[in-house]
Amino acid sequence: MLGLILAGGMGTRLWPVSRELYPKQFLSLNGDQSLIRGTVERSLGYVDDVLVCTNGDQFFYVRDELEDLVDEENILVEPSKRDTFPAITGGSLFIREKFGDEPFLVLPSDHVLGEDFFELAIEASDLSDEYLITFGVEPSYPATGYGYINPGKELDTGYVVDSFKEKPSEEEARDFLDDGYYWNSGIFLFKPSVYEKELKRNSPNVYSGEQSYSEFMDGYEDYDSISVDYALMEKSDKVATVPYSGKWKDIGSWNSVFELMEKDENGNSVKGDVKLRDSEDNLVYSKNNRLIVGLGLKDLLIADTEDALLVSSKEKAEEVKSLVQELRKENREEVEKHKKVHKPWGHYKQLEESERYGVRHLTIPPNESISLQRHHHRAEHWVIVQGTAEVKKGQDKKHLNENESIYIPKSTKHKIKNPGKIDLHLIEIQTGEYIQEDDIKRFE
C-alpha cells in the first residue's frame, strides 16, 4: 500500500498564520512539527512509500519541508489548482505507471490521525480490489461542518455506501446520528485499476482509459475544478465505507485548532511569547517574536504574525474565510504571502519596503543559485553576511566573502551562486522607481 498526500490547499480559515503561498499544512500548530510532516511520518510507518500532490506555488515548501522523507520525483505538481478529483486521478495514473496496481491511501495533509487508523486501512486494503473506499468517522456530536455517509449493505469489512449527505442543519445532524450515519472524513483508499475503471464508466469526459500520466497532466488546465466526491464517489455504485472510531481531527478552522491544542488551568491555549491574567477560554497564537499580554479576556481568538494581526471572538472564527476574500479583492499581499518567501534557490525575508526601496535577507543553500537576470527599473546592492558568493555581473565574475559587497546597476545582467559548504546569507538593498517582482527578465 502507498500513501498519496494532498497538499495543495490554501487554508484561508486559518489566516493570517496560513497564507496562499504558505498554507496551514506547513504550520506547527501543536508542537514543533508541521501538519504535513506529521502526516508523512505517520504514514511511512505503515505504507511502502509516500507521494505528495501539490501545486507549483507550494512545490518548494513541500520539497524543503520533506527533503529527508520524500523523494523529489514523488512530489507531483499540478499545473493549476483543480481540487481533489484531477489531483487524485493524476496520482493514480502516476502510481500505476511507476509502482503497478498498488492500492493507495489518499490523505489530506492537514488531518490529525491516530496510529490505529493506518492499521484499519491495511485491514481494509483487500476491499479495494472491488470497491472505491471512503473512511467514515463515527460522530461524537451532531456536527454541521462535515458531510455525512449513509451506510447500506454490510460487507465483511465495512458497508456499501447507500448515499452521501451534504453538511446538514443541526436538526438534520441529530437525525443522522440517530440513524447511524458517519462523518465523511475525506480519506480514501483506491486501487488504480478499480479507480480508473469507475472513472471511465462515470466520468469519461475526464478519463477515456487511454491516457498516460504525462498526457493527462498536459490537459490538466482543461479539467473542471471539482472534488472527487462530486465527480466520482456520488456517481459510482461501487463505493464502500469503512468506519473509524479513533483519533481524527480535520484542522479546518481556528476553533478546531483550539480543540487540538493543550489548555492551561483556565482553558486558554497559547503558542508563542504570551502572558495572560484573569483570562479564560482564549486561543492566542503567535508566529511573531513580539510579547503578547492579555488581561480579562474571554472566548477570544488572537492570531499574530509579523505583518498582520487577527482579533476575533471564537464565535466568529468561521467568518475568517469571508474576511480574507474581501482582503483579496483589495489586492492585499498579506493574503498571499508572509514576509518569508520560498524560492527555487532558497528563500528571502522582506525586512523593509517602501515605494522606491526594499531591503531583503536572502538565504541560498550550498550549490544553489539565482538565475541569470536583469531589472530595468531597479538597482541592487548585495552585502555578504555569511558564506561565500560567486557573482556574475555583466561579463565579469567575482568571489565575495563575509563583509564584502557589490553594486548591480539597472539593466545589468547578474547572477549569484553559493559555491560553499554552508548557507550563504546576504542583505539585498533594492532602489529605483519600480521595485516590484514583475520587473525581471531571466536568461536561463
Whole-number pLDDT of residue 395: 93
Kindly report, residue by residue over 143-169, the tens digit of the pLDDT: 888 899 999 999 999 999 999 999 899
Of 149, 158, 96, 95, residue with least CA distance to 126: 158
Whole-number pLDDT of residue 28: 84
DSSP string covering 243-274? EE-S-EEE--SHHHHHHHS---TTS-EEESSE
* pLDDT band with cut points at 50, 70 and 90 for residue 132: very high
Please say whether the beta carbons of 210 and 219 come within 8 A. Answer: no
Percent of the residues in the chain that have a pLDDT greater than 70, as a whole number = 100
16 preceded by a cis bond (ω within 30 of 0): yes
Strands 239-244 and 132-137 come out as parallel
Please say whether the beta carbons of 443 and 371 come within 8 A. Answer: yes
What is the distance between the alpha carbons of residues 9 and 82, in angstroms, rounded to a whole number?
10
What is the distance between the alpha carbons of residues 296 and 388, in angstroms, rounded to a whole number?
52
Whole-number pLDDT of residue 434: 94
Whole-number pLDDT of residue 288: 84
pTM of the full structure: 0.84
Is 32 a residue whose pLDDT tops 80?
Answer: no
**DSSP 8-state code for residue 298:** B
Kindly report, residue by residue over 49-83, the tens digit of the pLDDT: 999 999 988 888 899 899 999 999 999 999 988 88
Of 202, 191, 201, residue with least CA distance to 226: 202
* pLDDT band with cut points at 50, 70 and 90 for residue 357: very high
Please say whether the beta carbons of 134 and 43 come within 8 A. Answer: no
Residues 221, 69, 425, 305: is their CA dihedral positive or negative?
positive
Whole-number pLDDT of residue 222: 85
What is the distance between the alpha carbons of residues 123 and 65, in angstroms, rounded to a whole number?
30
Phi-psi region of 331 (alpha: psi -120 to 50; beta: other; left: phi over 0): left
What is the distance between the alpha carbons of residues 414 and 442, in angstroms, rounded to a whole number?
10
* pLDDT band with cut points at 50, 70 and 90 for residue 238: very high
SS3 category, 125: helix
- Please, which residues have CB within 8 angstroms of residue 287's CB and are 6 or more apart in sequence? 17, 272, 304, 305, 306
Please say whether the beta carbons of 52 and 40 come within 8 A. Answer: yes
Whole-number pLDDT of residue 390: 97
* pLDDT band with cut points at 50, 70 and 90 for residue 223: confident
Instruction: Rounding to the nearest 10 degrees, give the CA dihedral for residues 185, 188, 189, 193.
Output: 160
Looking at per-residue confidence, does 187 or 57 come out higher?
A: 187
Is 408 a residue whose pLDDT tops 80?
Answer: yes
What is the distance between the alpha carbons of residues 81 and 387, in angstroms, rounded to a whole number?
38
Q: What are phi and psi of 161, to 5 degrees?
A: -80, 125
Grid cell locating 57: 506555488
Element (H, E) at 222: none
Cβ burial of 277 (10 Å; 0-12, 13-18, 19+) is exposed
Of 270, 266, 286, 261, residue with least CA distance to 278: 266
DSSP string covering 365-377? -TT-EEEEEE-SS
Whole-number pLDDT of residue 344: 85
Q: Could you give all domains of the chain from N- to C-terminal order, each with its CATH number? A: 2-250 (3.90.550.10), 254-330 (no CATH), 340-442 (2.60.120.10)
Is 197 a residue whose pLDDT tops 80?
Answer: yes
Grid cell locating 41: 511520518
Kindly report, residue by residue over 92-109, the tens digit of the pLDDT: 999 999 999 999 999 999
Farthest CA pair distance, the chain: 76
Angle at 27 between CA 22 and CA 32, to 5 degrees: 145
Q: Half-sphere exposure of residue 49, counting CA atoms within 13 Å on the CB side?
A: 12
Looking at per-residue confidence, does 267 or 333 come out higher?
A: 267
* pLDDT band with cut points at 50, 70 and 90 for residue 397: very high
Is 21 a residue whose pLDDT tops 90?
Answer: no
Residue 400 CA to its chain's centroid (Å): 37
Mean pLDDT computed over 316-335: 92
Grid cell locating 229: 466526491
Please say whether the beta carbons of 341 and 347 come within 8 A. Answer: yes
Residue 124 CA to its chain's centroid (Å): 27
C-alpha gyration radius of the chain = 25
Percent of the residues in the chain that have a pLDDT greater than 90, as a whole number = 76
What is the distance between the alpha carbons of residues 192 and 96, in angstroms, rounded to a whole number?
6
What is the distance between the alpha carbons of residues 155 and 127, in angstroms, rounded to a whole number?
9
Provide long-range contacts, Cβ within 8 A and 24+ apart, for 283-286: 283/254, 283/257, 283/258, 283/314, 285/17, 285/29, 285/254, 285/257
Please say whether the beta carbons of 188 and 88 come within 8 A. Answer: yes
